[in-house]
Structure 1
């Protein structure tokens, strides 16, 4: 009788331990998911600010000035466009509405899916006089 009681108590302790482990795992997974979204947002912000700041710098140098910008793109970017020659828009998974970066100078450029896929990319930011052209090298 004593052995069966010890075995039963052991099983109860084991079951309670597993029941306590499940909510803990849920909390850790939730935290990891939210952290990865914040990291993606920060990386996108760095990319957008770098492109816009470089465009404004090149504009200050004058016509035919050029800077090649090397950027590391994270996984999860769905689209990158320039709207109204003023706004660089980067849309990513988990970021509602995307992020917008306003340029004080006219910027132009079209981007293919390969331009914003994950990995290291080089972009030429070149002054054409009255606008700044952004193209992949």
Structure 2
């Protein structure tokens, strides 16, 4: 095991409004203080009663999915909580993930999160826990 699912992130035009929709659907608390995230106009969270966290990320010029039209695909990504982003990087690349981070890191530079695509092209992030 490399990490733990931290949250599922949905792209949207209005993060707080969509978090409210899912709160009405699933229950829970919108934007509960949590040291893992900075809450702002571009990011909202919903902590559900089951312990699952949904996050909502503003995307400029958002184009909603049109099921099942592949020209307008489903839009979400997984955040995976890991103890060591650099070590997990090596592990997920060995499993077939592709780094989507622009360029290489400077020597000695460490990031708190990095972006990848799974073998089918779905994005996910490794996030320092």
TM-score normalized by structure 2? 0.24
Higher helix residue share? 1
TM-score normalized by structure 1? 0.23
When Rg is computed on C-alpha atoms for both structures, the one with the higher figure is: 1
